[in-house]
């Protein structure tokens, strides 16, 4: 639980850094080319994501995710991890007073 929260907060901090980097790129004098998720996956894995020839639902979903800005995907993963590993209060619904 603690490790999930730490990694979640790290991903949220990384999202803020990536979004500010994207904003700096957008305000620069050159053409705007944002940081796509496919670029980050290529840097981490070492190979470009290869779309499958058949157009199934999962292949179309993967292609749509890879075309999103990287800060959106990393932020969504960090938020989901934080929500999944949050502290939960113990509830006693059937406790008698």
CA distance 64 to 86: 29
- On whether residue 7 sits in a domain, the answer given is yes
Structural domain span for residue 8: 2-21+33-84
Summarize the confidence of residues 25-38 as an average pLDDT: 86
- On whether residue 97 sits in a domain, the answer given is no
Assess contact for 35 and 69: CB atoms under 8 A.
yes
Q: Which pLDDT tens digit goes with each residue over 50-86?
A: 766 667 888 888 888 999 999 999 999 999 999 999 8
Terminal Cα-to-Cα distance of the chain (whole angstroms): 32
Q: Which pLDDT tens digit goes with each residue over 34-43?
A: 889 989 999 9
Please tell me the predicted confidence (pLDDT) of residue 34: 85
- On whether residue 26 sits in a domain, the answer given is no
Residue by residue, DSSP assigns 5-62 as HHHHHHHHHHHHHHHHHHHHHHHSSS-----BHHHHHHHHHSS-----SS--HHHHHH
- On whether residue 69 sits in a domain, the answer given is yes
Q: Which is more confident, 94 or 81?
A: 81
């Amino acid at each position: 639980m603690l490790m999930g929260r730490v990694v979640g907060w790290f991903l949220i901090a990384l999202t803020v850094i990536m979004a500010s980097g994207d904003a700096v790129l957008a305000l620069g004098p050159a053409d705007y080319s944002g940081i796509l998720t496919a670029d980050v996956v290529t840097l981490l894995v070492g190979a470009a994501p290869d779309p499958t020839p058949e157009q199934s639902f999962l292949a179309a979903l993967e292609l749509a995710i890879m075309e999103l800005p990287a800060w959106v995907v990393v932020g969504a993963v960090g938020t989901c991890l934080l929500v999944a590993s949050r502290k939960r209060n113990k509830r006693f619904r059937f406790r008698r007073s």
